[in-house]
Amino acid sequence: MKKVTPIEGDFISRTTQSRPGAMKKGNKSNNNLGEMLKKLDGQQLVELGSKVLDTASSGMDLLKEKEKTSQVRAQISLDMKKVEAGKQAAVLDFKIRTAEFDAEDKIDQRRHAERVLELSEFGKKQNDEDGHIMKILDLVEAETISAELLAELINQIKS
């Protein structure tokens, strides 16, 4: 196991209260400021006060602008969320409508196929009926069939 070597020197605290020079330095700075203000005449003090007020006013304006900026950012964020929600709703609506159109298309294709089959069967039936009628007419022309039998055959073909 490795031995820990002791640290040499005094412990230095991180708080300002335990540092003896910290409080004196602040007082010394205030003293220097007071001495400098004593050296200024009235006009210079008025100018200094005016500059301090201008600086404070600029600081307040900056804070107002920061607040406006944060409000605008919040509004933009809200607007972006609304736009995104609208976009998602539009995409969903598009997908639903596309699915509906696809379903209608399949139904129409099925109906078309059924109708084509129906018409095809009808055409075959008509051709068969026409063929039977032609045979009957040939028999009538050859005078090998009676009128009663002819009427009966026509009724059977039509039903």
Whether residue 16 is contained in a domain is answered as no
Q: Please say if the pLDDT value at position 92 is more than 90.
A: yes
**Residues 136 and 158: beta-carbon distance below 8 Å:** no
Whether residue 12 is contained in a domain is answered as no
Whether residue 18 is contained in a domain is answered as no
Scanning the structure block, which residue is given the tokens 């600029």?
A: 58
The beta strand positions in the chain, using DSSP E, are none
Whether residue 93 is contained in a domain is answered as yes
CA neighbours within 13 Å on the CB side: how many for 138? 6
Which residues constitute the domain of residue 52? 27-158
- Mean per-residue pLDDT of the chain: 83
Whether residue 130 is contained in a domain is answered as yes
Kindly tell me the burial class for residue 78, based on how many C-beta atoms sit within 10 Å of its own C-beta (0-12, 13-18, 19 or more).
Answer: exposed
Whether residue 137 is contained in a domain is answered as yes
Q: How confident is the model at residue 156 (pLDDT cuts 50, 70, 90)?
A: confident
Quick count: other Cβ atoms within 10 Å of Cβ 121?
10
**What sign does the dihedral 111-113-114-116 (CA atoms) show?**
positive
Whether residue 6 is contained in a domain is answered as no
Predicted TM-score of the model (pTM)? 0.43
Number of independent structural domains in the chain? 1
Whether residue 4 is contained in a domain is answered as no
